[in-house]
């Protein structure tokens, strides 16, 4: 493990076009649970799996149940950036890190100070009316106990990409360009099982792909350096 950390430090030191690609594991160390974790307690409370509740068709059909899930599982208050978020923001300030590409919707990278953050699945920090598209602050959802409504009568929804919805073309294009141009790609806190997002790392053409995740991923054999550990603990050492 120590040798791998030293290798990571060395590659960071000699690189000046680093891109970070991250998933839920980056935020779990800030106290935000991975909503896909389904256990016995979950089944006592929810009739449907998370992927069903967080789908476009379910939101349209049953906004009351969606918002019950949203308030309990997605709207986590008081979460703070951890060592991974903070170190990535520092690398950006140093001119080394060019982009953070995240599957997370919590805004913690921006809270840590990162500026060029490409949010593949949107963000909970913005909202809009599903009918007239009028923008709303996140508090219009967070401070409403039931289903938040727009002046036009439409349902206000968070600016996130639900299952069955397309990813934003501009965000995808910018992510592809950033990864293609990178001299170092750090992938962290993701099992690389959610597509099309996971497929983006195939655009990397360099020889310094680092994979940091607690468990093995389908890309472990592709990466040039694999570290099975908590990402915050790794970044606290580099």
- Per-domain residue ranges for the chain? 2-32+81-121+166-235, 34-75+123-160
Contact 215, 193 (CB under 8 A): no
CATH topology of domain 34-75+123-160: SIR2/SIRT2 'Small Domain' (3.30.1600)
User: In this predicted model, which residue has the larger pLDDT, 39 or 127?
Assistant: 127
pLDDT score for 78: 86
| Residue 55 bridge partners (DSSP) | 163
Q: Quote the mean pLDDT of the chain.
A: 94
pLDDT score for 37: 61
Is 121 part of the annotated catalytic residue set?
yes
Of 70, 85, 109, 121, the active-site residue reads 121
The pLDDT > 70 percentage for the chain reads: 97
Rg (C-alpha) for the chain, rounded Å, is: 18
Contact 105, 26 (CB under 8 A): no
pLDDT score for 196: 83
Given a cut of 70, whether residue 220 has pLDDT beyond it is yes
Indicate if 34-75+123-160 has the same CATH topology as 2-32+81-121+166-235: no
Given a cut of 90, whether residue 45 has pLDDT beyond it is no
Confidence class of residue 40 from pLDDT cuts 50, 70 and 90? low
Closest CA to 27 of 95, 67, 92, 74: 74
Whether cis (ω within 30° of 0) applies to the bond prior to 89 is: no
Residue 86, H or E segment: helix 83-93
pLDDT score for 36: 64
CATH topology of domain 2-32+81-121+166-235: Rossmann fold (3.40.50)
């Amino acid at each position: 493990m120590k040798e791998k950390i030293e290798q990571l430090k060395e590659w960071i030191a000699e690189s000046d076009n680093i891109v970070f690609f991250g998933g839920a594991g980056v935020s779990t160390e800030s106290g935000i649970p991975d909503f896909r974790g389904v256990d016995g307690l979950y089944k006592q409370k929810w009739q449907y799996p998370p992927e069903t509740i967080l789908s476009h068709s379910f939101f349209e059909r049953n906004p009351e149940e969606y918002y019950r899930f949203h308030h309990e599982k997605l709207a986590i208050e008081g979460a703070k950036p951890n060592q991974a978020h903070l170190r990535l923001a520092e690398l950006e300030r140093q001119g080394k890190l060019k982009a953070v590409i995240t599957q997370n919707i919590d805004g913690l990278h921006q809270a840590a100070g990162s500026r060029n953050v490409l949010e593949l699945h949107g963000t909970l920090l913005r909202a809009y009316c599903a009918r007239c598209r009028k923008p709303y602050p996140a508090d219009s959802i967070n401070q409403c106990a039931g289903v938040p409504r727009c002046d036009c009568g439409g349902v206000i929804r968070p600016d996130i990409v639900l299952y069955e919805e397309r990813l934003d073309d501009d965000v995808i294009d910018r992510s592809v360009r950033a990864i293609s141009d990178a001299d170092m790609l750090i992938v962290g806190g993701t099992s690389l099982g959610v597509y099309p997002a996971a497929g983006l790392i195939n655009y990397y053409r360099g020889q310094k792909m680092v994979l940091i995740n607690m468990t093995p991923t389908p890309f472990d054999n592709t990466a040039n350096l694999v570290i099975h550990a908590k990402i915050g603990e790794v970044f606290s050492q580099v």
